[in-house]
């Protein structure tokens, strides 16, 4: 399937502040303010929620509209300057690589619409993504930017110079599509690094890592806030240096969606807890197969789950990224 490039920073002409220009809160608050300034009073009132609004905070899903009701402003309801400003506000909270990944997921959603249309009762496509703020964007007080739709839910909490990207759901259907004659795999690195890692496990490690149970979807996906699961698999304390490096590279595919400064803080934390981190696998280990895996540590849970809903499971992927100690930035206070 061929799809024109859509919503990239270059295509939109977005001027995103470099990391050296300002800290996370300063640049994100400025970009959010620029977006809010493009809106009417009615639009502003519908996109900014109180920081105490817990109902909005947890109102995210992987489902398409209208199966789930999303609030905020829909991209398809914005004019072109407003849409550019909305995406600039999103980009200011993410790394360059993270923003590209998110836009690839959006483009995959447009490819899904192009290939299947909108089935009765469902809404697919690039216009069906929503932006909202929980809390007024500020350099002093905590606030959230939420961006999501079918197969995407980003919850970015910002407090001063700190940023948290959990819980966030990244997914893709199709997981592989063509744009401007090039193959795009929004979650391709996650898949490839995981198969590289499982191939390095020795028999004892493999015996511990590969679970007897199978998983049809995410265990800690939407609606599972506060739920805990027991660690399973093989502990990274048994890994060689090369295996640990692969595991960190794999984790970085989720952590690195966040702004570079916030991601560095989180990766340092993950690295310090690495020996207490578990890696679990369910399914075939041959590259290209449909397999579930989970990474679980003291401040981290990541799941990758191909969907067995007909067709090719490898081409319909759900993933979740959580921090059981700090989802929604609860350590920042105010919740």
In whole angstroms, what is the distance from residue 24 CA to residue 30 CA?
10
Q: Structure tokens of 129?
A: 């993504």
Q: Is the pLDDT of residue 22 over 70?
A: no
Q: Is the pLDDT of residue 20 over 80?
A: no
Using the structure block, give the residue that is written with the tokens 């905020």. 72
> How distant, in Å, are the alpha carbons of 41, 176, 183 from that of 89?
18, 27, 28
Does the pTM surpass 0.95? The reply is no
> How distant, in Å, are the alpha carbons of 7, 16, 21, 96, 330 from that of 10?
8, 10, 19, 11, 35
* Count of Cβ atoms closer than 10 Å to residue 6 Cβ: 16
In whole angstroms, what is the distance from residue 198 CA to residue 149 CA?
32
Q: Domain spans of the chain? A: 2-160, 187-332
322: Cβ contacts below 8 Å, ≥ 6 apart: 166, 167, 220, 300, 301, 302
110-157, pLDDT tens digit by residue?
999 988 766 777 899 999 999 999 999 999 999 999 999 999 999 999
pLDDT band at 310 (very low <50, low <70, confident <90, very high): low
> Nearest 10 degrees: CA dihedral of 92, 96, 101, 102?
10
pLDDT band at 165 (very low <50, low <70, confident <90, very high): very high
If you average pLDDT over residues 170-194, what whole number do you get? 96
Residue 38: the pLDDT is: 98
If you average pLDDT over residues 230-237, what whole number do you get? 98
In whole angstroms, what is the distance from residue 298 CA to residue 278 CA?
10
251-297, pLDDT tens digit by residue?
999 999 999 999 999 999 999 999 999 999 999 999 999 999 999 99
In whole angstroms, what is the distance from residue 105 CA to residue 273 CA?
30
Q: Structure tokens of 36?
A: 């809010």
């Amino acid at each position: 399937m061929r799809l024109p490039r859509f919503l990239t920073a270059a295509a939109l002409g977005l001027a995103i502040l470099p990391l050296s220009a300002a800290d996370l809160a300063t640049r994100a608050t400025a970009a959010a303010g620029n977006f809010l300034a493009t809106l009417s009073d009615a639009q502003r009132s519908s996109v900014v929620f109180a920081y105490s609004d817990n109902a909005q905070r947890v109102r995210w899903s992987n489902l398409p509209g209208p199966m789930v009701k999303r609030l905020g402003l829909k991209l398809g309801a914005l004019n072109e300057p407003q849409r550019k400003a909305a995406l600039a506000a999103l980009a200011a909270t993410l790394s360059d690589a993270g923003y590209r990944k998110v836009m690839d997921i959006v483009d995959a959603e447009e490819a899904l619409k192009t290939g299947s249309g909108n089935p009765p009762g469902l809404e697919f496509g690039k216009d069906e993504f929503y932006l909202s703020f929980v809390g007024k964007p500020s350099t002093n007080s905590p606030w959230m930017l939420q961006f999501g739709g079918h197969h995407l839910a980003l919850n970015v909490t910002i407090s001063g110079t700190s940023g948290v990207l959990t819980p966030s759901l990244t997914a893709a259907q199709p997981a592989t599509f063509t744009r401007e004659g090039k193959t795009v795999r929004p979650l391709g690195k996650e898949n490839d690094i995981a198969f590289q890692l499982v191939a390095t496990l020795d028999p004892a490690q493999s015996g511990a890592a590969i679970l007897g149970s199978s998983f049809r979807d995410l265990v800690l996906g939407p609606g599972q806030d506060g739920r805990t699961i027991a660690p399973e698999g093989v502990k990274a304390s048994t890994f060689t240096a090369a295996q640990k490096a692969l595991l960190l590279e794999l984790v970085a595919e989720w952590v690195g969606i966040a702004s570079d400064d916030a991601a560095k803080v989180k990766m340092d934390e993950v690295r310090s807890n690495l020996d207490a981190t578990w890696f679990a696998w369910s399914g075939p280990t041959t590259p290209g197969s449909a397999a579930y895996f989970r990474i679980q540590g003291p401040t981290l849970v990541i799941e990758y789950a191909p969907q067995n809903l007909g067709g090719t499971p490898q081409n319909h992927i759900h993933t979740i990224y959580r921090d059981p100690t700090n989802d929604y930035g609860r350590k920042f206070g105010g919740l």
